[in-house]
Amino acid sequence: MEYRSQFKNKYLPFLFLLPTLLILAVFLYYPVAQTFRLSTYRVAFLGLKTQFTGLENFIDLIKDSGYHKIILTTVFITTSIVIGGLGLSLGIAMLANSKIKGGRFYRLLLIWPYALSPAVAGVIWLFMFSPGFGPVNYLTEQLFNTEINWLGNSRLAVLLIIMAGIWKNLGYNIVFYLAALQNLNLEVLEAAAIDGASSWQRFWRVTFALISPMSFFLLITNIIYSFFSIFGMIDIVTKGGPLDATNVMIYNLYRDGFEYYKTGLAAAESVVLFFIVVGLTIVQFRTSGRQVHYGG
């Protein structure tokens, strides 16, 4: 079937797109271009003076052992949030997909953490685990006669950020997994059961394979979330501490740019973060994407 344009003037579609393109150019493409440009400059306070330095900012990052630690911390927290979040979300989604009384009400409750802004979610977790008056510490003191310093211990602070990151994105993952589970071809599952497949075999070889496109989509979105959207949680709860234990790349970029006014270095960090995320996404498409099965 041949499709023909409904516009009499061939330039009219571009005219309709012009407002969107202008907004993208001003608020997306121009800032991105400026970031790449500033990454090759030394910028004085408030941009009053700039000096071209080429790749010096990137060389400084390569030589900085502290920045290497920040990258490792980012990778560890991101990996933990992605794997833990997707695994927990799939398990809860399968339970929520069961036919139980009040199931729709329970599913509605599962989405509300995602509806909260990162700042509000951060305040909730800060209040929950604050020493002295936090309800979690109150319970541990009543049950075990001890108070845990969640925010003062490096390992516990990292664990707290990972748990908060998983909790914040849990509703988003569950909703998509529920949609995938509710659209499964039940005839395939019934055929597997008739053939003698166990519950685990039906899940791993049939259910998980059929929802692999959704899993792949959530894998990419969760990686992006863990690299960028975790900023608000860290800023409210730990401020990157203690001893930079929770200082991830996006938060370090913010501190260098807006607290220490190292604009050129912060721009270089932004470029590095950009290429890391793009590189991870490409690797995921070329590896995990091969295991994704589309079709009925």
Residue 4 banded pLDDT, cuts 50, 70, 90 = low
**Cα–Cα nearest to 239, from 142, 148, 126, 143:** 126
pLDDT at residue 241 is higher than 90: no
Rg (CA), the chain: 24
Residue 56 banded pLDDT, cuts 50, 70, 90 = very high
| Region 47-76 average pLDDT | 90
Q: How far apart are CA 135 and CA 154, in angstroms?
A: 21
**Burial bucket for residue 27 (CB in 10 Å: 0-12, 13-18, 19+):** exposed
pLDDT at residue 231 is higher than 80: yes
Residue 59 banded pLDDT, cuts 50, 70, 90 = very high
Q: Mind listing the domains of the chain with CATH numbers?
A: 65-291 (1.10.3720.10)
Each residue of 167-195: pLDDT tens digit?
A: 999 989 999 999 888 888 778 877 888 87
pLDDT of residue 295: 55
Q: Is 247 left (phi over 0), alpha (psi -120 to 50) or beta?
A: beta
Which residue would you say has higher pLDDT here, 23 or 109?
A: 23
Contacts of residue 90, defined as CB under 8 A and 6 or more positions apart, other chains included, come to: 173, 177, 215
pLDDT of residue 292: 60
